[in-house]
Structure 1
Amino acid sequence: MLVAGRIENFKDYSKFSSIKEFNNTIEMFLAEHKKDFTKGELIAFKRLVRFSAKYAGVANAKIGTLVKAINEKLKGFGISRSTFERMLRKAKGLGILSIENTAKSKGGKGHNVYIFNTIDVLKKRKLTYCENEESPCESKDESSNFEGETSNLLKTSNIKRLNIRKDRVLDATFTASYVPKEFVQAVKPFFDHAAMIEDFWKSVFLDTKAISHIVELETITYTAINAFKQAIRGYKRGKVKTNLVRYFTGTFKKLMDEAYSALPLEQFAPLP
């Protein structure tokens, strides 16, 4: 295992002759695999690429440091640590990234070292992504008798044989229970992705946290739905200059301010 230390200690792990070669590799990789990442995961991936510029394709920053840098740049509406970790698993699975663990000189686990691979490595690596996400992932040994086993999937022996992929994208049915069902149904036709829906609702929660005891959840939910529809219209008209979540957040704040100011004065009475 490597010993934790400064980035200079790992410069020899770079597989690129120049930063230009590294950037070209990243461009070619994203041209083919951008679709495999969510919006949040792409933000995480690009941040890691930037941290790998001093010695082309090598970084040793802590995940917490990277997530903090992203959230500061996006003014609090960034990504979570779990999103960053999902990105790492996908990037590693697709062959663009290798991850080496380190240990502290005085004992204990250190930071990770992230090493980007060259195109020739990517071409040699056998990808395991399913071509059709609507179908279950099957191994070659199981594909021939998969249909005959579907009725017995609840048996322990068969559960052990299932290839449940940890990097599969979870659809809207897996959205966390704290997100109102009405909002999920409104977003689902455009983003059938649990993490993405939760990212939209995160901005709603943060913006209404201080007034949640005054404004009914139903009002907040339908204001959020209206804001999302306006954000989609704005996107289709080319008005979104940053990203859709930030545009949605600004729209929601404006609509929520209007709804809040329209509340009757008696609702602002002190709490008992």
Structure 2
Amino acid sequence: MLRSGRIEEYKEFSQFKSIKEFNTSMEMFLAEHKKEFTKSELVGLKRLVRYSAKYFGVANAKVATILKSINEKLQGFGISRRTFERMLNKAVALGILTIKNTVKSKGGKGHNVYIFNKIDALKKEKLTHCKNSETPTASKDKQSKSDTETINLFKTNNIININKRKEQRLDASFTASYVPNEFVQAVKPFFNCAKTIEDFWKSVHIDTFKVKGLIDKQTITYTAIDAFKQAIRSYKIGKVKTTPVRYFTGIFKKQMDKVCFEELVVYKGI
């Protein structure tokens, strides 16, 4: 574990030879992945990039310091900590950013060290992964099994009821395509049932129908995931007295109210 310290102590983590090389790498990354970030998240990402200029691609500023800087630059219309952390999670998932935790000399968690990765290194890693990948062969067996089960259904006298029970047993891999994969993966460990996952998302669709042209899909998806995690936590400790879907719907509505207030801001850039 790294010790908390000054930025000079982390310059060895820099993967770039110059600020120009760092900027070029970021431009290449944004050209491919900019659409995956909301406007608010891009504000946070660009500000973190600026804090990484001294030692190319390395920063150790506290989140509170970065948020304060953004707020001052935008004259009070800054972004929330949750938005900034959501940006970090996306950047890490896409491979452009590595985050190392530090500890204070007297104990306790210190600041984070943010390390930007080279975009060309990411592409090489992706190519290597694709080259070594094998094509799955189990799909035909599953298809054959599925066809057999369907044929057997029609041999019964109660086709409708059996089909309904079968629908309830379909796992998360059968979830309808209109449900974002990120949401499916978040719900799957707790409810590995296609119909249940679709029921959760139907409440999201209904509550965001009027704002879909104003709030981007990624924001809606990650807000739904956050609301689901809160609902599960309450469910696990016995606070939920209604169905999980209904409880989730109530939390999601409150979350979206906050998001609409945060996201519907016209940013002038930084």
- Of structures 1 and 2, the one with the larger relative CO (CA 8 A, separation 6+) is 2
1:82 is matched with which residue?
A: 82
| Change in CA separation of 1:12 and 1:32 when aligned onto 2, cut-off 3 Å | same
Between the aligned partners of 1:106 and 1:69, the Cα distance in structure 2 is 28
With the length of structure 1 as denominator, give the TM-score of the two structures.
0.56
When the two chains are superposed, the root-mean-square deviation of aligned CA atoms in Å is 3.8
SS in 1 for 2:266: helix
With the length of structure 2 as denominator, give the TM-score of the two structures.
0.56
SS in 2 for 1:245: coil
| Change in CA separation of 1:6 and 1:86 when aligned onto 2, cut-off 3 Å | same
Aligned residues: 182
| Change in CA separation of 1:80 and 1:200 when aligned onto 2, cut-off 3 Å | closer
Between the aligned partners of 1:142 and 1:74, the Cα distance in structure 2 is 54
Q: Do structure 1's residue 189 and structure 2's residue 188 form an aligned pair?
A: no
Q: Do structure 1's residue 202 and structure 2's residue 261 form an aligned pair?
A: yes
Written as runs of structure 1 = structure 2, the 5 A alignment for 1:4-43 is 4-43=4-43
Between the aligned partners of 1:41 and 1:48, the Cα distance in structure 2 is 11
Written as runs of structure 1 = structure 2, the 5 A alignment for 1:209-220 is none
Moved over 3 A (4+): 124-127, 140-151, 170-175, 189-193, 195-201
Written as runs of structure 1 = structure 2, the 5 A alignment for 1:100-119 is 100-119=100-119
Identity %: 56
Q: What are the Cα deviations for residues 138-189 of structure 1, in whole angstroms up to 9, with x where unaligned?
A: xx7997759968632589xxxxxx96159xxx989549x9xxx6xx544323
The Cα of 1:246 is off from its aligned counterpart by 2.5
Between the aligned partners of 1:118 and 1:198, the Cα distance in structure 2 is 38
Q: Do structure 1's residue 52 and structure 2's residue 52 form an aligned pair?
A: yes
1:151 is matched with which residue?
A: 168
Q: Which runs of 5+ in 2 are unaligned?
A: 128-135, 147-165, 173-182, 188-199, 224-254
User: Which amino acid in structure 2 is aligned with residue 16 of structure 1?
Assistant: F
Q: Could you tell me whether the CA contact under 8 Å between 1:94 and 1:122 is conserved in 2?
A: no
| Change in CA separation of 1:198 and 1:47 when aligned onto 2, cut-off 3 Å | farther
Between the aligned partners of 2:138 and 2:39, the Cα distance in structure 1 is 33
Q: What are the Cα deviations for residues 21-79 of structure 1, in whole angstroms up to 9, with x where unaligned?
A: 00000000000000111111111111100000011100001111111211222222221
